[in-house]
Amino acid sequence: MNRAASNSSFKKSLDALSVQSAAAESPFERRRVGKLVVLVLGVLGVLLLGRVVVYSEGGIQVSQLGDAVVWSSAQAKWGDVPCGGGDAAPPVDGAARVLVTGAAGFIGSSLMASLGARTANRPHTVVGLDSFNDYYAVSMKRARAERLKRDFGYDVVAMDVCNASMVEALFAKHAFTHVVHLAAQAGVRYSITHPMTYVHNNLECVVSLLDFVARREVQPHYVYASSSSVYGLNKKIPFSELDPITHPANLYGTSKFADEQIAGAYHNIHGLKSVGLRFFTVYGPWGRPDMSVYLFTNKIENGETITVFNHGDMWRDFTFIDDIVQGIERSMEYCADNAAVFNLGNSKPVKLDYFLKTLEGELGGPKTKIHYEKSNAEIKETYADVSKAHELLGYEPKTSIEAGVKSFMAWYKAQPLALRNDWAGGRFKGGRKRRR
Ligand SMILES: NC(=O)c1ccc[n+]([C@@H]2O[C@H](COP(=O)([O-])OP(=O)(O)OC[C@H]3O[C@@H](n4cnc5c(N)ncnc54)[C@H](O)[C@@H]3O)[C@@H](O)[C@H]2O)c1
């Protein structure tokens, strides 16, 4: 039974209860009514304690009992209507002007490429910014930015998001209608050794950017990257946006959860509406070399040993980049009422063994050498419940792990050998060449 139907049958049983109460005379009838009262109170209790989501008939309005969040969609199309928090007039030329932060990164550059392809014949402006930090190969970030310039004429401005006066200058020039904030210090294990990098990039810069956009007379539509890591040590799977988050696992996840809380505070104080996206292990062409798909492929190719944590008992909800980009673009069309968050995953976790075999098969040898290790920072399983994103954004992940790995491998093999080895270097633990 769907939720709307369950609500209406709940209402019918309440109506039936009031009719029966009036008619109840005999002890037998009183016992029946008593049982019905207990039943109705029980259902009510389950609804409240279970924090059941209630969707309206059109699937537009949703509220969560036991949680302060209420969200709804105004069904705008990105580029047609800015979804800002103020009583915003549409931009003068009627076109969207999009700022993408972290634009030389994996997801940011993929988003810009997709926007470029989608909006080729429309007068949109898309501008990227990136600090080009050396957490992993800067040459890979440059190659992504060069591709955006070459294929779409898009610029990626080299700057730190924390540089408020440069952000102000960019806004003065373009009056952005949309900000997609993807710049961050990513990586779980790196946060053990470099905590302050996360404080700067994921907290300080987030507050700096939010404070700027929230105080604008016309607030832009604000979409930002959160992470599946916010779920920390949660045991209940699949992970749902309704799950309480109380057991942090690492500083990276904690910083991302703090970002969501900060977005909530800016909604409360300045009315800034935002959409936070909890990405689940994203992979694909131009993927990050510190992440398992690239890192493992490169190590297998070079006959090096792969370190696998939790003794290999790990499941990851690998999500193909095109599906993530689809989710971001749909979020750019979605006007939140508040500080909304969504899971964006594939919702089909894969065990590490199978994943390694798939990589090995597509690469065509040599055989994988594995070293097993325990790590307290790594989460055993990630698994996204994407029903909220499906219902409200129309998000629909389409790519199987086999098809996604095939696509990644085609891209990987098309890169010159020296380059793919060079890109595998970086400051992250596990890089082939350290550049400290
Ligand atoms: N890739 C994933 O699986 C994944 C999963 C969950 C969340 N995320 C989040 O998605 C976002 C994008 O991730 P990605 O995989 O593309 O990572 P990425 O490292 O490839 O991209 C992030 C980019 O941001 C830039 N950057 C970092 N700090 C900056 C700052 N202060 N100012 C300007 N630029 C800065 C970096 O140079 C980098 O190019 C990040 O917020 C990340 O935390 C990614």
Nearest CA to ligand 1 atom 27: 184
pLDDT value at residue 311: 78
For residue 402, which amino acid is it?
A: E
| Residue 225 alpha carbon to ligand 1 centre in Å | 8
Provide mean pLDDT across the span 27-55. Answer: 40
Indicate if ligand 1 lies below 6 Å from the C-beta of 290. no
Q: Nearest C-alpha to atom 2 of ligand 1 is from which residue?
A: 282
Tokens 């097993």 sit on residue: 372
136 is catalytic: no
- Write the CA distances from 114 to 51, 214, 336, 422, 427, integer angstroms: 37, 27, 23, 26, 29
Which of 202, 240, 194 shows the shortest CA–CA distance to 345? 240
Residue 362 has pLDDT above 90, yes or no: yes
What confidence tier does 432 reach under pLDDT thresholds 50, 70, 90? low
Nearest to 300 by CA among 405, 157, 436: 405
**Ligand 1 center from residue 58 Cα (angstroms):** 35
Of residues 34 and 360, the one with the higher pLDDT is 360
**Which H or E run includes 343?**
strand 339-344
- Cα separations (Å) of 44 from 48, 65, 172? 6, 11, 53
Sign of CA dihedral 329, 334, 335, 338: negative
Percent of the chain with pLDDT over 90: 62
pLDDT for position 28: 40
What average pLDDT score do residues 290-308 get?
92
pLDDT in tens, 115-144: 888 776 666 889 999 999 999 999 999 999
Q: Given the DSSP bridges, would you call strands 305-309 and 369-373 parallel, antiparallel or unpaired?
A: parallel
| From 135, 198, 231, 252, active-site residue | 252
350 backbone φψ class: left, alpha, beta (φ>0; ψ -120 to 50): beta
Would you say residue 189 has pLDDT above 50?
yes
- CA 378, CA 250: separation in Å to the nearest integer? 8
- Tokens found for residue 5: 């139907």
Which ligand 1 atom is the nearest neighbour of the CA of 229? 6
pLDDT attached to residue 68: 26
Could you tell me the distance, in angstroms and rounded to a whole number, from the CA of residue 142 to the centre of ligand 1?
14
Closest alpha carbon to 67 in 43, 89, 50, 87 = 50
This prediction has a pTM of 0.82
Q: Which atom number of ligand 1 is nearest to the Cα of residue 281?
A: 3
Q: What is the mean pLDDT of residues 232-257?
A: 95
Distance CA 337, CA 325 (A): 22
Top mutation candidate among 227, 320, 341 for ligand 1, by most atoms within 8 Å of CB: 227
Per-residue confidence band for 376, with pLDDT thresholds at 50, 70 and 90: low
